[in-house]
Amino acid sequence: MKKLYFGALYLCALPVFFSQQVVWQRDFESSTQDFLSQVTTTLDGQYLITGSSIQTQELQNARNKQNNSYDFHLIKLNPRGEKIWEKYFSGDQHDFLSATVATQDGGFFLAGTSYSSKGLDKKEDSKGGSDIWLIRINEFGDELWQKAIGSAAEEEVKAVIQTTDLGFFVAGNIQNSDKGYGAKDVLIVRLDKNGKELSQLILGGKSNDEVEKMIPTRDGGALLGIYSRSNASGSKTTDNYGEGDFWVVKLNSSGKVEWEKNFGGRDDDHLRTLALTSSGYIIGGESRSDRSGNKTVGLEEGTDLWLISLDEKGEEIWQKSYNFKNRDLLMGMNIIENKGITQGMLIGGYTQSEERIETGDMTFWMLYLDENGNEQWRKYVKGESKKREERLSDIQLNKDGSIIIAGTSTEKFGTESWKIVKLEDKQVDQLIEKQDIKVYPNPVSDYAYIEIGFDFKEADILLYDMSGRQLQNLKTKNKVTKINTQPLTQGAYLITIKTNTNKTANTKLIKK
């Protein structure tokens, strides 16, 4: 896979209240069916594009690793969309990279499904069937450690998060396991920060249950979004309303189930994504159901987008539906907050919908909703180089109000290229909270990131203890700077920014 061109874009919107600007577009061409799974925004404003690709023979020869199957494929871009590095992790058979999370130290945790035995980059043998292959890397793409998890059954990965104790939850599916409940169940593995396995949990009923999404919760636990076709049976205590339902499960920090809820109508409803809000959670996906079960909004045409707002106990606050007049697929959701209060949400996906789009075409779309789920605008994103079929894989809202969309673009099946677009939107930018200085995460364990919210050419970042003693002095030209807090003892510290224009800003940092 190689960089093909920098393309310009144009936007058509219904309705257009505020204009969008394309900051840049990057396209990475392929002659195979490459799978783009995710775009991960780093704490310092860079982007990791991840998926699965078959390497060219030229690349295989250069790496001295011969494998004509799919490998983990990573491309890191800087904020201007320029490639910093590109990496592959290869086994001797197909390996599909499904989920990635940025770690607090600036690196990444990769989770994929592996059909490979020991060899090439894979250091552990197959456990049988397909396994879970986990790799932790630093910010430069260098491996820190890896681990294979599996059994005689078939395992696959769908999601991974880092928790407040710096460990990880890995969520996937397991088929035909003698420890399971149905044909396909949900598997959750909890690890510490060094990859030591702490626990495993299998969830499911007598039919098929597939996890689609997982997000971290404020208490150190996790929220699972599951597409369920099971009634109450096995470990599942809630009945389905139709063919397939949204099944939402809350885990505590130890990986134990706190509560579970089912949402659905009489037909098929497929959960796709989750998000954390100031009042609880938003769950979303596609629905083929009219008003029935506990679905209180109707069906317009094809599949509708269905969003449900929940409080922290899983009780419904509101539900809404949206339609593009055909088969609509929801692929990502971002929450906009100001002073800790949810202001709205940006969701993205793809559809075959609009009348002026040719039959069979697909194109990216975005919807902006207020905090109560009321639609504010919808926009299609196209390019001068737009291919016949474009499938959105992920959408990310950056801290500065810019938007990254990532997906595949192709004229015919089997030749999917990766398409990455950075946008700016005036309406979204107005909702982003502006601060002179931000520290995150805060409280911090090991590494913190200092974000300067105003323009400058050079600045000093000064760290003081509460007695006024200066402990660190870092010079920076970057909007976001990483600092090491590992030597600090537990307690409060003061961060001071001084720029070349004599502007200063202060904030407090808490070391756990």
pLDDT at 352: 64
pLDDT single digits (tens) 352-401: 644 444 444 567 888 999 999 999 888 877 644 556 677 889 999 887 78
| Strand (E) or helix (H) holding 329 | strand 328-338
Tell me: the pLDDT tens digits for 221-259? 999 999 999 999 999 999 999 999 999 999 999 999 999
d(CA 275, CA 280): 9
Q: Read off the tokens for 123.
A: 């250091």
Residues of the chain with pLDDT under 50: 1-18, 353-360, 383-384
SS3 285: strand
Q: Could you count the other beta carbons within 10 Å of the beta carbon of residue 19?
A: 12
Domains present along the chain, CATH in parentheses:
21-430 (2.130.10.10), 437-511 (2.60.40.10)
Predicted structure pTM score? 0.85
Let me know how long the chain is.
512
Q: What is the pLDDT of residue 394?
A: 92
Sheet holding 168-175, edge to edge: 154-162, 168-175, 184-191, 197-203
Q: Which of 447, 472, 449, 476 minimizes the C-alpha distance to 462?
A: 472
Report the 10 Å Cβ neighbour count for 426: 12
